[in-house]
Structure 1
């Protein structure tokens, strides 16, 4: 790999973005940081990153999925890794459809992310398990899918799920969505 690798980090948590930046700079990357969609769009006007790390849930009801789509439209060869504190099958599938090469659950470190950049091709040797999904997991995935559809608007998601807003808020608090 060349020493002029340009990485864009789209992360609204300043401390985590700083930590990732330092770690990737030590590995020879040139790093740009954007806290959201608009800032990333502005950076893309003057830069063409080779790699991107995108947080799935950004402040201001912005989904990282919109950022993935923006990045992929800018350069379809860009290696995009999505990080999330609340992984679900629905958002993983959407992230890959929109152009992400990998989807990692937090906590993930620089080693995990860099390995994801290098592991773009699928693996046919991956073991398929016979473990069934629990009701709680299915419920959480459904809730998360509806939240993603509503751009993380809790009131609208609760309405679509047929539950009271406070009930949904309590469920989300138990899951510690970040």
Structure 2
């Protein structure tokens, strides 16, 4: 089960697996992403449970606090930090990672104070999330082999805001402080590499 884990980075997971507790709660309101990540983590040996809202996640965390958690910061019905807090109330040794498309220093500090072991910007891939969950205390994750280009990160952010605005070009352009026609040209192009 721990064949994907190497050296010291796998100690936390190896110990959890040895104790028979590799439970992982993934909380995200982006259903396709949630399903892909759940499958990827199951192949890495985790016993995965999922939730799409703060309310659902808090109920699951209180009923059976997981050994590991991956929680999106912004959910349709609230803040992912509430989920981290609910998990910590029941189990102080849970290794939690916060995912967000809205990275900022203040939120990262709050997440770490509540007990998150790492804070990753979306879109993070399964390898990055796995590394963050399994790093030993104080160990830094290795930089990604093929990080997204700045153009791709910008494109991903525009797409996320566009979806949040229910595909309304005018509203998206207003929120991004961008000219509407410029936004239309960006949306018409393929995603950069």
Q: TM-score when scaled to structure 2?
A: 0.62
Distance 1:172 1:91, change over 3 A: farther
Q: In structure 1, what is the equivalent of residue 83 of structure 2? A: 67
What stretches of structure 1 of length at least 5 have no aligned partner? 125-166
Q: Distance in 1 between matches of 2:88 and 2:136?
A: 15
Q: In structure 1, what is the equivalent of residue 66 of structure 2? A: 49
Runs of 4+ in 1 over 2 A off after TM superposition: 118-124, 169-174
Q: In structure 2, what is the equivalent of residue 107 of structure 1? A: 123
What stretches of structure 2 of length at least 5 have no aligned partner? 1-13, 141-170, 179-193
RMSD: 2.5
Q: In structure 2, what is the equivalent of residue 170 of structure 1? A: 174
Matches within 5 A, 1:149-160: none
Contact 1:102 1:120 in 2 (8 A): no
Q: Distance in 2 between matches of 1:25 and 1:99?
A: 24
Aligned residues: 132
Contact 1:101 1:120 in 2 (8 A): no
Q: Distance in 2 between matches of 1:25 and 1:94?
A: 29
